[in-house]
Amino acid sequence: MRPQGGPQNRWRLDRTVTLGVVLTLAAQTAGALLWAGAASARLDQLEARAEAGATVNERLARLEEQIAQSRASLDRIERRLDERRE
């Protein structure tokens, strides 16, 4: 079945662009660029926090190991003192 009306019923694209369309596209583009800039700044901040957290975790691991070694030394000292008392 063919559409009735022939070539007169075809849709067509008008090549004129109104000022409203241009301004709307400009506003949307500006908004998208601002949003992308803010998102980039947030990502940079989160990356900086993650790097700071990594150094804190490394320092914490070192401190835990030092505490474990201090406990072992204290246990040896206490054992020697107990042996001398007996």
For the chain, give the secondary structure using H, E and C. Answer: CCCCCHHHHCCCCCCCCCHHHHHHHHHHHHHHHHHHHHHHHHHHHHHHHHHHHHHHHHHHHHHHHHHHHHHHHHHHHHHHHHHHHC
Residue pLDDT, tens place only, 40-52: 999 999 999 988 8
Length of the chain: 86
What local confidence, expressed as pLDDT, does residue 3 receive?
54
> Are 3 and 9 spatial neighbours (Cβ–Cβ below 8 Å)?
yes
Residue 1, pLDDT above cutoff 70: no
Residue 16 lies in a domain: no
d(CA 10, CA 23): 29
Structural domain includes residue 72 = yes
Which residue range(s) make up the domain with 69? Answer: 21-85
In a domain, 79, yes or no: yes
Assigned domain for 7 exists: no
In a domain, 15, yes or no: no
**Residue 14 in domain:** no
13 assigned to some structural domain: no
Q: Domain count of the chain?
A: 1
pLDDT in the model for residue 5: 53
